[in-house]
């Protein structure tokens, strides 16, 4: 069952009606430059050798595929496996992509790095690789997220990055991305923008997906070794969707493997305070690509809400929109309370503290397992660790730390 490349975007970066390049004309040249550089380097043996070497020696890959034995027995259903991206250097899947993009920046001769971040994990990963390469780094972060992820802000500063708090709009991830785009327009000659998710103008959705596809590639091998075959289902949280796309992509042609993307239901779809772009949004253009967007009747982008900063985004990667519309993947909703309960469940039953983003995937994985046979297997992508969320959870539960 070899992976096929049927789902690559076309030459204009489209996945069906989604994707494309709707960025400012000012960015057209640097996006074309990036597209050409990536097209050349992604098949270059030396670039790939260096990327794989960094994943092994700097990131610490492969990450384990772990059988959550106590959780599995408790659900009395499918066997639950966790893909342990939380064990990567910097504590999340984000480092896979930043390692790849910093190598691109180096190959292109760029001296300055910018990024946006919500939960702070992409910001930390970007600051980490920039420090390693000795490059200037500026990270944009909504002021709301800066407060709820103060530890990650300090980590970025310790790594030598400048963190610019964004006060516009909802002061979250969407607005951080807006400011990063403005910075890039003003500094196109020397700056490389490391986007953290499978969104943005082409070629970013394809490029970020490819760098994160190591997750699914490892699961293909590990599941055969540990289970004897591929899993029956894959589960991952979806904001922009980089961790989910990294898990899903290598399995797209394996139709017997079901795929579930878990969106942030926040306080409930009916409340309007959520971030479920696929389930409750409409097709529109956001941050340089056509996708599902949380917007009103006039096309204005709506404010979103999630207990997890990394899922608090009003759009979704265009390939996820395509997988939804073609029926290859199913996108479901988990609310704040369910994610918080799953955080405690995994922490107490397995001694593994997930990021609140990942806790959404865990919550749905537990539900799904109950509907399946003990002879079936689910892989949940544990996209990050929960250290960064301890203060948020303590505050929500009225605990002083």
d(CA 20, CA 354) in angstroms, rounded, equals 34
Q: CA-CA distance, 171 to 149, in Å (whole number)? A: 13
Cis before 204? omega within 30? no
Q: Quick check: is 42 catalytic?
A: no
116 in catalytic set: yes
* Residue 350: both structure tokens together: 């397995």
Task: Find the catalytic residue in 146, 223, 306, 383.
Answer: 383
Helix (H) or strand (E) holding 89: none
Give me the pLDDT at residue 2, please: 41
Contact (Cβ atoms closer than 8 angstroms) between residue 145 and residue 116: no
List Cβ neighbours of 167 (8 Å cut-off, separation of 6 or more). 143
Structural domains in the chain, CATH included, are 25-47+94-208 (3.40.50.1100), 58-91+212-396 (3.40.50.1100)
Q: Which of 35, 72, 85, 94 is catalytic?
A: 94
pLDDT of the residue at 1 = 38
pLDDT at 6: 55
pLDDT at position 8: 83
pLDDT in tens, the chain (401 residues): 344 445 689 999 999 999 999 998 989 999 999 999 999 999 999 999 999 999 999 999 999 999 999 999 999 999 999 999 999 999 999 999 999 999 999 999 999 999 999 889 999 999 999 999 999 999 999 999 999 889 999 999 999 999 999 999 889 888 998 999 999 999 989 999 999 999 999 999 999 999 999 999 999 999 999 999 999 999 999 999 999 999 999 999 999 999 999 999 999 999 999 999 999 999 999 999 999 999 999 989 999 999 998 999 999 999 999 999 999 999 999 999 999 999 999 999 999 999 999 999 999 999 999 999 999 999 999 999 999 999 999 999 999 88
What's residue 380's pLDDT? Answer: 99
**Is 94 annotated in the active site?**
yes
Among candidate residues 35, 85, 116, 206, the one labeled active-site is: 116
């Amino acid at each position: 069952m070899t992976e096929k490349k049927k789902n690559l975007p076309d030459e204009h970066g489209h996945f069906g009606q989604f994707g494309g390049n709707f960025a400012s004309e000012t960015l057209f040249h640097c996006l074309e430059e990036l597209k050409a550089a990536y097209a050349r380097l992604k098949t270059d043996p030396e670039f790939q050798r260096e990327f794989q070497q960094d994943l092994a020696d700097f990131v610490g890959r492969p990450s384990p595929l772990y059988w959550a034995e106590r959780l599995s027995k408790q659900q009395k259903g499918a066997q639950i496996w966790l893909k342990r991206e939380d064990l990567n250097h910097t504590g999340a899947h984000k480092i896979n992509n930043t390692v790849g993009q910093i190598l691109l920046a180096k190959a292109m001769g760029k001296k300055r790095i910018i990024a946006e971040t919500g939960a702070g994990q992409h910001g930390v990963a970007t600051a980490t690789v920039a420090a390693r390469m000795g490059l200037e780094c500026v990270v944009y972060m909504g002021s709301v997220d800066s407060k709820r992820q103060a530890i990650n802000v300090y980590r970025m500063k310790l790594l030598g990055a400048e963190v610019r708090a964004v006060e516009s709009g909802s002061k979250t991830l969407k607005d951080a991305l807006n400011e990063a785009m403005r910075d890039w327009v003003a500094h196109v000659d020397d700056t490389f923008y490391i986007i953290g998710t499978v969104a943005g103008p082409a070629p970013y959705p394809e490029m970020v997906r490819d760098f994160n596809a190591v997750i699914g590639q490892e699961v293909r091998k590990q599941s055969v070794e540990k289970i004897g075959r591929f899993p029956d289902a894959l589960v991952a949280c979806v904001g922009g969707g980089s961790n989910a796309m990294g898990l899903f992509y290598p399995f797209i042609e394996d139709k017997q493997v079901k795929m579930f993307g878990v969106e942030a239901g926040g306080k409930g779809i009916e409340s309007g305070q959520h971030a479920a772009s696929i389930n409750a949004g409409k097709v529109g253009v956001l941050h340089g690509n056509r996708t599902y967007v949380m917007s009103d009747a006039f096309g204005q982008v709506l404010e979103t809400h999630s207990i997890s900063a990394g899922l608090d985004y009003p759009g979704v990667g265009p390939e996820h929109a395509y997988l939804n519309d073609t029926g290859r993947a199913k996108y479901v909703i988990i609310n704040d309370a369910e994610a918080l309960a799953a955080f405690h469940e995994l922490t107490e039953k397995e001694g593994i503290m997930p990021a609140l983003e990942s806790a959404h995937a865990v919550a749905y994985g537990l539900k799904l397992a109950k509907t399946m046979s003990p002879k079936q297997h689910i892989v949940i992508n544990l996209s990050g660790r929960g250290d960064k969320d301890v203060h948020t959870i303590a505050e929500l539960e009225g605990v002083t730390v």
